[in-house]
Structure 1
Amino acid sequence: MVMVVGVPGVGKTTLMQKFVYDWVKGDLYQRFSFVFFFKFRELNRLDKVSLETLILHHYPYLWQQLGNIFQDPEKLLFIFDGLDESNQTMDFTSRHLCSDPKQPERCGDIVVSLVRKSLLNGCSVLMTSRPTRLASMDCEAFQRMVEISGFSPKERRIYFDNFFRDPELAEKAFTYVRQNDTLYTFCYLPSYCWIICTVLSRSFQTTSSDQQVSLLPRTVTQLFAIFVANILSNHSPEKSGAQKLLQSMGWMAEHGVMNHTIIFDGRDLESFEVDNRSRLLSSFLMESEEPVSYSFLHLTVQEFFSALVHYVDFSLEKLEQSLNKAKFYPDGRGEMFLRFLCGLSDDTTRSILSEYLDTQAAQASREVITWVKDLNVEEEKLMFSNENKQLLLNIFYYLFESRNKVLVQEYFKSLRSLDLSRIHLSALDCTLLAFILENCRYVEELALEHSSLDNEGLERLAPGLLKLKFLSLTRNKIPDTSCMQLASVIRNNRSLKKLILSCNHLSGPHLSDLMEALSSSASQIELLDFYEDDLPDNIYLHFPSIVRNKPSLKTLILASNRLSGPHFGDLMEALSCPSCRVEELRLTFSNLNGTACIQLASLIRKHQYLKKLDLFDSLSGPHIEELMEALSSPHCRIEILDLGRNNLPNLSCIPLASGIRNNHNLKRLDLSDNHLSGPHLRDLLDALSNPGCRIEELHLERNGWTKKEKDALRELESRKPDLRIYF
């Protein structure tokens, strides 16, 4: 059971068709004896039907063999394309399941029963959907979720070369697109790539039409507007005839979007007064036979016309009704409609089709802008709810399509922190996020943790990162080439104070570019987090320069890295120099060997600014005592020390006691998860009883204490009211 997910136009249907083609040719998937291909849009017309009838409706020539076919379900594959186009409720956790292929049921129940294996147990199911439909569904019944990522940069170039027969024109078109970040990002979607190439082919070639559209697109709405305008221009119809077709076809498209109708028949065309004799009709609608039906070239084309009609034939009542409906569809069917509505609110975008629009199109624009202003996302929930984050991302699309910078500033005038963690961000998402950040005056903090950012995404996002004070890119598997993008951001953003790059496993030749940027005078970083990045040892050659030349750096996190290499000593020496102002050093889970402990002890003795040192689960070797004795140095200013889970034996209580007696700065000490129980606990207790001891919080959990030792700890706590002991 596999679900294939992809945004509109990325090629889900094409992939399914290629699957069937490879099977028919005998090249792939030969373990299946039968592959049954269904489109959800075609199933929308069916009421209650049995699986047997459903198959025979599409494959009538199997009527004599179907009984035998069902006897071997392991050799059957069912493909259901376009779950987002289904008008039926589908609950993959439902208990209403059928097991008889002859029993009439709702199509949705049949699909769920196949997925849940109550019907034809052993068969395989392959399904496609837009991610918006799945956002509100439980998909645990699927063994695998696969996402189509679209064209890679190399594949985009190949597509242009194949589309344009003239190599010179292909080069000209691709160069133009490559220089336009937004257009180039659109090209990862095959269907948009086709439209872009179609638009550019007409824009770059000589034409006799004086109405040829010269504007080149910068948003998805502009792309579709130019596509439609070029078709209208090239067919040279009368303006009134074209406007009437846009109106009738638009209302039919709008009705379809709102009611999950994608296939229309002659009665629908008649009802909406669509003239099927118009030469233009075939440019936007495809006709199928047996029985005769019509559908738009692509669902996205239908969604564009459904939005355009509100500017072609304005009705305040209809517009308000559609806005309110589309906003609350849980399956996301109204998303593209809303994006196009917002895109057409822009005067420049609307001007592309101005000669076909209603005289009150500007009023429609004002109503849409007012609607966007009234959308409410509760900021306090954005940190916790993925649903709210997805809603916010949708609003970003509305604002991006509108190109309304004033609206962006007004909408986010109180937003200081933005968290889109655990929301998959495509390169297109990053393009619009950069637009939002560039036009938001007050956003200072951005968290994009676990967002699946790739190199192109970071490249598109980079212009929006130049005003931030805090940036977290945790768990994004940042590719090496992206380090160049981050280096550029660091050099050009003197406001950036906190940079979190943890859990990215950074490596490769371009990591040095990032390190050099961090050591440059332009960088004013105060917190640098490389937790669990599997940093190679040679990278530690760069840290001394960062530490020495960066008095702004206060917190350095290198936990869960390989720190016992030959260059760790260089880092410790740099941290000990007078110009270093690092106050917090986290080396958790670092497996420091004996030599590293000696080097760290030297740092503790010399560094007067270090206030917090985290060595949880980090120490090994014979020199631990030397490290503890360093706490007695008069230059040691450590206030918070974590030595938890380091296998410290009872004998360690002696050097610990010495350090506590001589260090009057220590406020919090963590010794949990060690082996301190034993006779030398008394040395530790005596040191803690010393009037010069300033420790306020002491963690001693999980040290194997005896009842007598616990009583002694309680007695000490009762004598020192300012000391809280956890054991």
Structure 2
Amino acid sequence: MEKGSRARRVMWKSFVNMHHAVPKLDKILKEMQELGPDPFDYMITGRGLSEIPSHLKDVQQKHKETLRVQTETLRVNTILIKEKVKIFQLVILYTELTVISTVRDRTLVEHELLARGRDHEEWRKKHLRRELEKIRTDQLFQSSFSWRGSSFQKMKSFFQRTSSGSSAAVSGVAGIGKTTMVQKIVYDWATGKIYPHFQFVFSFKFRDLNAINCRINLRNLILDLYPYFRNILRELWKNPERLLFIFDGLDEFKDSIDFADNRRNTEPQYMCTDPEDWCEVPDIVHSLIQHKLLPGCSVLVTSRPIALHLLEKAQISVWAEILGFVGEERKEYFNKFFEDQVVAAAVFKHVEENEILYTMCYNPSYCWILGLSLGPFFTQRDRKQQGVPKTITQLYSNYIYNILKNHGRAIESPRDVLLKIGEMAFTGVSEKKIVFRNGDLIKYNLQPSQFLSGFMMELLERDDSAQSVVYTFPHLTIQEFVSALAQFLTPDPGDIRKLLSEAHSKEDGRFEIFLRFVVGLSSSRSARPLEEFLGPFLHQTICGVIDWVKEKVEGEIGKTESETGKRDLLNTLHYLFESQNQTLARVTVRSVETLTFSGLRLTPIDCAVLSPVIGLCDTIKYVDLENCSIQCEGLQRLGPALHKCQVLRLGSNELGDSGVKLLSAALRNPDCKIQELE
């Protein structure tokens, strides 16, 4: 800046040329453009934002104390053990999530476990290469600038204040920690750790707003939760820039909020402009986000990706996504989960060594399931560690086993009840339904019980006259597992091969994990612990599933000319891996001579699945993995089997020095048959 006008022009030109590739720089330039030529004018306007009149201080303190008490503990469903709910101190259990200042996709049709498991590691590596900007929760409503040095001390107070009238959207898949993150934000504000420029924070859940079936105003929305604001709200409206509104779980909202609807700009009844006006709930939320109601206030909205497209036309100034746990954050979670650090280390080591389980660990909900399911193998002396789950089906089988162990003896026939739960769950998977009501329970002849509560969480919903109870599985994958389990418990299975084929033909991915579970449950290793409580699985169903997998592998093994064909074969090989059926695998792939996945991105998980397949191919000659984005980690999974083929193509993969060393080990194998290497 001290080199003269020509040097400054070159600098700014360089910034403009490169800003699209650097998210933080792009954000800084946009903010500078908004600030105008003289930011000192804004600094004067922004002074005193944190100052509060003395007569409001008492209410603020009461509000902070109320929020602190509400948010200082974390209630966790512990359905695998005898206590239904355990209460933890938030600050003790909370593990910082990685939040990135971008959103990868705003529509998502593929199953979230597959979609995130498949690409999560690649995004993690981008973050480590500093191609992504990681932001903390206290930065969502803070300027990008972080000036240092004595000459900028006056600017610092301005640039770190909130941008007036800022709306932020945070995306994240189910179970990734959006609600817990909101709880931590509210707790940190209430305890004076973040956002001192906000005098008051109001937090709402869309799930609770669903119960409001009449017109209401913002004033009463607040007073329903915090009645001590009754006499001062009119004064708060005068300084909206000091207010933060949080709305959690847009994907759970029953009403539509359409920001692309042009009528809202022309017909006043669609817009609420006064916090005392009576409006529909979606119009209040819409007007706050669009800065038509209390212009100058800040708004935070969280949502799963499936509903994020609703906000594309909204005036959102900050987009962010919770990436979940990366690197050491996963280890930190298990260290906090287990009081015994020896057990924590043993469980994490097992997870880390299993690529499929490790990839699941980006999601706190999966970490919770892993911790509850794997812990007993490392804490009970009578459980042999060689039985520790290796596949996702084995993991969930042990998850359900622990529920049955603690609750199954409380009812006469757990098999019959679990069959009914599974049938209801399957209908839900088919219809993309995750919330069940009393009518659904009656339809499947189910009654609320201690046993049922072991599988489903009870949630309260308010309506005009009373509160009603709805039910949901702790996670979509648990619903899918119980759906798959029901196929083996029914006395009348019908044509299981037809059911599986129809599910496989759905292009939106809704049955993908369900199918993996069904195939996995055909394995005696996965079925054995459950049969202890549920009785033997139906032999007819097991044979039908095995025949279906055999038919799929044999039908797709030679159809890899197109990318779709390669993807279909890879998915089918995942089924084969989940079955852990060595006989089935050998019969289906023993005589294969060619395997080609060129141009299809293969993750380390895919490589872990592919390796035993190549290992079982007695006649394999040609393996084409060109342009598959295989790096060192993937090659490490493939390494034990590569020496078997005669022609091996690895062109355009970033193997690096470590990858070449792994390849050299394959070439040195005494049984190596490689004649041609690319």
Under TM normalisation by the shorter chain, which class is it? 0.5 to 0.7
1:340 counterpart residue number: 517
- Match of residue 168, structure 1, among 342, 359, 369: 342
Q: Deviations over 1:488-532 (max 9, x none)?
A: 23322469xxxxxxxxxxxxxxxxxxxxxxxx998967555xxxx
Q: How does 1:298-313 map to 2 (within 5 A)?
A: 298-313=475-490
Residues 78 and 124 of structure 1 are in contact (CA less than 8 Å); yes or no, is this contact kept in structure 2?
yes
Q: Deviations over 1:19-56 (max 9, x none)?
A: 423543346789999898767x999x999999x99999
Which SS does the other structure have where 2:458 is aligned? Answer: strand
Which SS does the other structure have where 2:178 is aligned? Answer: helix
Calculate the TM-score normalised by the size of structure 2.
0.55
CA distance in 2, matches of 1:390, 1:60: 52
Residues 420 and 447 of structure 1 are in contact (CA less than 8 Å); yes or no, is this contact kept in structure 2?
yes
CA distance in 2, matches of 1:315, 1:382: 37
1:326 counterpart residue number: 503
CA distance in 2, matches of 1:455, 1:140: 42
Residues 151 and 190 of structure 1 are in contact (CA less than 8 Å); yes or no, is this contact kept in structure 2?
no
1:328–1:236 distance in 2 versus 1, CA, 3 Å? closer
2:421 counterpart residue number: 249
Residues 311 and 364 of structure 1 are in contact (CA less than 8 Å); yes or no, is this contact kept in structure 2?
yes
Residues 648 and 677 of structure 2 are in contact (CA less than 8 Å); yes or no, is this contact kept in structure 1?
no
1:125 to partner: Cα distance:
8.7
Pairing 1:291–2:453 present: no
Which SS does the other structure have where 1:292 is aligned? Answer: strand
CA distance in 2, matches of 1:411, 1:87: 48
1:151 to partner: Cα distance:
3.9
Which SS does the other structure have where 1:273 is aligned? Answer: coil
- Match of residue 370, structure 1, among 547, 562, 584: 547
1:300 to partner: Cα distance:
1.1
Residues 245 and 275 of structure 1 are in contact (CA less than 8 Å); yes or no, is this contact kept in structure 2?
no
Residues 556 and 569 of structure 2 are in contact (CA less than 8 Å); yes or no, is this contact kept in structure 1?
no
1:310 to partner: Cα distance:
1.0
1:307 to partner: Cα distance:
0.6
1:175–1:241 distance in 2 versus 1, CA, 3 Å? same
Amino acid at match of 2:452: L
Q: Deviations over 1:103-132 (max 9, x none)?
A: 69xx9x99xx99x999999999977658xx
Residues 411 and 451 of structure 2 are in contact (CA less than 8 Å); yes or no, is this contact kept in structure 1?
no
2:531 counterpart residue number: 354
Residues 203 and 213 of structure 1 are in contact (CA less than 8 Å); yes or no, is this contact kept in structure 2?
yes
CA distance in 1, matches of 2:268, 2:632: 48
1:424–1:179 distance in 2 versus 1, CA, 3 Å? closer
Residues 347 and 374 of structure 2 are in contact (CA less than 8 Å); yes or no, is this contact kept in structure 1?
yes
CA distance in 1, matches of 2:420, 2:197: 48
CA distance in 2, matches of 1:218, 1:408: 17
CA distance in 2, matches of 1:331, 1:89: 23
Which SS does the other structure have where 1:7 is aligned? Answer: helix
CA distance in 2, matches of 1:54, 1:369: 58
1:344–1:429 distance in 2 versus 1, CA, 3 Å? same
CA distance in 1, matches of 2:441, 2:218: 27
| Between structures 1 and 2, the one with greater helix share | 2
Pairing 1:275–2:473 present: no
Q: Deviations over 1:552-590 (max 9, x none)?
A: xxxxxxxxxxxxxxxxxxxxxxxxxxxxxxxxxxxxxxx
Q: How does 1:170-185 map to 2 (within 5 A)?
A: 170-177=344-351
1:244 to partner: Cα distance:
2.5
Q: Deviations over 1:243-265 (max 9, x none)?
A: 23212221221121111111112
CA distance in 2, matches of 1:260, 1:379: 31
1:148 counterpart residue number: 323
CA distance in 2, matches of 1:56, 1:431: 56
1:621 counterpart residue number: none
Q: How does 1:433-452 map to 2 (within 5 A)?
A: 433-441=610-618, 442=620, 444-447=622-625, 449=627, 451=629
1:472 counterpart residue number: 650
2:38 counterpart residue number: none
Residues 213 and 352 of structure 1 are in contact (CA less than 8 Å); yes or no, is this contact kept in structure 2?
no
CA distance in 2, matches of 1:470, 1:346: 32
CA distance in 2, matches of 1:382, 1:97: 50
1:202 counterpart residue number: 376
Residues 401 and 530 of structure 2 are in contact (CA less than 8 Å); yes or no, is this contact kept in structure 1?
yes
1:465 to partner: Cα distance:
3.4
CA distance in 2, matches of 1:291, 1:58: 22
1:97–1:22 distance in 2 versus 1, CA, 3 Å? farther
Residues 35 and 77 of structure 1 are in contact (CA less than 8 Å); yes or no, is this contact kept in structure 2?
yes
Amino acid at match of 1:15: G
Amino acid at match of 1:7: L
Q: Which has the higher contact order (CA 8 A, sep 6+)?
A: 2
CA distance in 2, matches of 1:309, 1:169: 33
1:475–1:357 distance in 2 versus 1, CA, 3 Å? same
1:418–1:147 distance in 2 versus 1, CA, 3 Å? farther
CA distance in 1, matches of 2:253, 2:568: 22
Which SS does the other structure have where 1:148 is aligned? Answer: strand
Q: How does 1:608-647 map to 2 (within 5 A)?
A: none
2:400 counterpart residue number: 228
Residues 623 and 649 of structure 2 are in contact (CA less than 8 Å); yes or no, is this contact kept in structure 1?
yes
Unaligned runs of 5+ in 1: 496-519, 529-727
2:437 counterpart residue number: 265
Amino acid at match of 2:516: R
CA distance in 2, matches of 1:173, 1:206: 13
1:20–1:199 distance in 2 versus 1, CA, 3 Å? closer
Which SS does the other structure have where 2:435 is aligned? Answer: coil
1:359–1:429 distance in 2 versus 1, CA, 3 Å? same
1:299 to partner: Cα distance:
1.3
Which SS does the other structure have where 1:470 is aligned? Answer: strand
- Match of residue 418, structure 1, among 574, 596, 604: 596
1:269–1:433 distance in 2 versus 1, CA, 3 Å? same
Residues 311 and 360 of structure 1 are in contact (CA less than 8 Å); yes or no, is this contact kept in structure 2?
yes
CA distance in 2, matches of 1:89, 1:428: 38
Calculate the TM-score normalised by the size of structure 1.
0.52
Residues 36 and 55 of structure 1 are in contact (CA less than 8 Å); yes or no, is this contact kept in structure 2?
no
1:236–1:522 distance in 2 versus 1, CA, 3 Å? closer
CA distance in 1, matches of 2:340, 2:380: 14
1:173 to partner: Cα distance:
3.8
- Match of residue 488, structure 1, among 662, 671, 675: 662
1:400 to partner: Cα distance:
1.4
Unaligned runs of 5+ in 2: 1-100, 106-111, 118-171, 272-279, 461-466
Q: Deviations over 1:632-673 (max 9, x none)?
A: xxxxxxxxxxxxxxxxxxxxxxxxxxxxxxxxxxxxxxxxxx
CA distance in 2, matches of 1:329, 1:172: 39
Question: How many residue pairs align between the two structures?
Answer: 482
Residues 113 and 360 of structure 2 are in contact (CA less than 8 Å); yes or no, is this contact kept in structure 1?
no
